């Protein structure tokens, strides 16, 4: 038996249901889950009352149970509905392979990104069937079932259905972390919600003198100005005479080294009447990026045209119009000339490895490039 039957309680335990459930999607999986639970309960019964099994008999298929077979229904459902990769209960979307194995969105995207890095077809870790965005579908019944399972509030440690936890933690929990209403004039206090009235009644900030407050406000203004710097520089760039932008598509390639490495390159494109190319690499061309969980992308802008005089440019990569990836805008500068026609590799400012995997999981990476030419 492959490991899949041992692990997948729902499918393996319900006799005859495994093939019937195929392709039926959400309903099928839900039926299987229920059948699995029933079968598990049955099995527990059999074990209690039945005779000791003959040691010479071929081993009967056993349902793998979490500790405490007599555990509560919720605990048993946990093992039925968990992601087959990370074994956690999925927090958002749940995907399934064509054989019904469940994967949380993070693991699913990670598998797709890994296969792209290894240049292999992605497969389900349980049954090795091919997986892709087209081959796999979401399983809404599992998503809804998970949202009904109880979970613990991180503040008060009481149990709530997952679906109502967010509201409880944000608005209702008496222990949720709150900030003093005088934060705006510099009070750093934060603590559990139920202590807030007591703090606010004795908070020293409203009685501070104007001079004291001016000092605090000055410091806060400075932080704010730092945040605004990026926006201001974007606005001043927008006033330049020559601004060009285009959608760019990074396509995956392999180096011809002995051990090939993955890199990305765009076809040539024209912005501001010049021909350009963008290149990108994963984890700064680390040999085996698929082995590390931390994923980064860096990129380089290359001027392909010959120029008579140096081309002073600011440039900026942002998410494309149809892609859903979070990129923090960072403006870079370079003076392009025939001798210095390439920028250094600069990091693509993606918030984290999860976002990076989203880009890597897709065949091509689509972004938008802005080039601002500094007029002398």
Q: Site for Zn ion (CB under 5 A): which residue of 35, 203, 303, 356?
A: 203
Cα–Cα–Cα angle for 249, 254, 259, rounded to 5 degrees: 155
Q: How far is the CB of 168 from Zn ion (least distance, A)?
A: 6
What DSSP string runs through 282-315?
A: EGGG-S-GGG-S---EEEEEEE-S--SS-EEEEE
193 binds Zn ion (CB under 5 A): no
Residues 6+ apart with CB under 8 A from 88: 82, 104
In the complex, the smallest distance separating the C-beta of residue 112 from Zn ion, rounded to whole angstroms, is: 13
Number of residues forming the site for Zn ion (CB under 5 A): 20
Which residue of 24, 27, 73, 86 would you call a contact of Zn ion, by CB under 5 A?
Answer: 86
- Kindly indicate which of the ranges 58-66, 184-192, 279-287, 357-365 contains the residues binding Zn ion, using the contact rule CB under 5 A: 184-192
d(CA 257, CA 315) in angstroms, rounded, equals: 31
| Residue 126 makes contact with Zn ion by CB under 5 A | yes
Nearer to Zn ion, 189 or 263 (CB): 189
| Among positions 89, 187, 327, 367, the unique one binding Zn ion when judged by CB under 5 A | 187
Segment lying near Zn ion (by CB under 5 A), choices 27-35, 109-117, 127-135, 352-360? 127-135
The rounded distance, in Å, linking the Cα atoms of 115 and 124 is 11
Q: Which is nearer to Zn ion, 99 or 274 (CB)?
A: 99
Q: Is residue 155 within the footprint of Zn ion (CB under 5 A)? A: yes
* Alpha carbon distance 113, 275 (integer Å): 30
Please report whether residue 240 would count as binding Zn ion according to CB under 5 A. no
Give the Cα separation of 233 and 213 in Å (integer): 30
CA distances from 340 to 276, 304, 305, 374 (A): 13, 11, 12, 17
- By CB under 5 A, residue 263 contacts Zn ion: no
The strand pairing partners of 291, in sequence order, are: none
Residues near Zn ion (CB under 5 A) are 83, 85-86, 97, 99, 101, 104, 107, 124, 126-127, 153, 155-156, 173, 180, 182, 187, 189, 203
């Amino acid at each position: 038996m492959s490991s899949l039957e041992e692990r997948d309680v729902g499918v393996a335990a319900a006799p005859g249901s495994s093939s019937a459930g195929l392709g039926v999607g959400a309903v099928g999986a839900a039926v299987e889950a229920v059948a699995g639970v029933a079968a598990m309960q049955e099995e527990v019964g059999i074990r209690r009352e039945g005779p000791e099994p003959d040691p010479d008999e071929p081993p009967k298929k056993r349902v793998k149970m979490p500790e405490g077979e007599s555990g509560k229904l919720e605990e048993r459902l946990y093992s039925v509905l968990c992601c087959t990769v990370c074994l956690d209960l999925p927090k958002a979307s749940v995907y399934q392979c064509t054989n019904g194995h469940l994967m949380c969105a993070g693991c699913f995207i990670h598998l797709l990104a890994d296969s792209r890095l290894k240049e292999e077809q992605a497969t389900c870790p349980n049954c090795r069937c091919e997986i892709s965005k087209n081959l796999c579908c979401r399983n809404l019944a599992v998503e809804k079932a998970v949202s009904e399972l109880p979970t613990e509030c991180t503040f008060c440690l009481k149990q709530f259905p997952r679906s109502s936890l967010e509201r409880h933690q944000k608005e209702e929990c008496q222990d949720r972390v709150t900030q003093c209403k005088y934060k705006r004039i510099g009070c750093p206090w934060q603590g559990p919600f139920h202590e807030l009235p007591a703090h606010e009644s004795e908070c020293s900030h409203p009685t501070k003198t104007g001079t004291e407050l001016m000092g605090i406000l000055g410091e806060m203004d400075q932080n704010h100005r730092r945040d605004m710097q990026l926006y201001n520089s974007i606005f001043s760039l927008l006033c330049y005479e020559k601004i060009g932008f285009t959608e760019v598509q990074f396509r995956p390639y392999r180096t011809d080294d002995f051990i090939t490495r993955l890199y990305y390159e765009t076809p040539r494109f024209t912005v501001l009447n010049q021909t350009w190319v963008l290149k990108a690499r994963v984890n700064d061309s680390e040999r085996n990026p698929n082995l590390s969980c931390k994923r980064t992308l860096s990129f380089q802008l290359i001027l392909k045209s010959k120029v008579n005089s140096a081309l002073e440019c600011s440039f900026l990569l942002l998410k494309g119009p149809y892609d859903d990836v979070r990129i923090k805008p960072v403006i870079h500068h370079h003076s392009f000339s025939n001798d210095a026609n390439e920028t250094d590799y600069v990091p693509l400012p993606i918030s984290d490895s999860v976002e990076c995997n989203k880009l890597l999981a897709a065949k091509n990476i689509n972004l938008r490039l802005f080039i601002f030419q500094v007029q002398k």
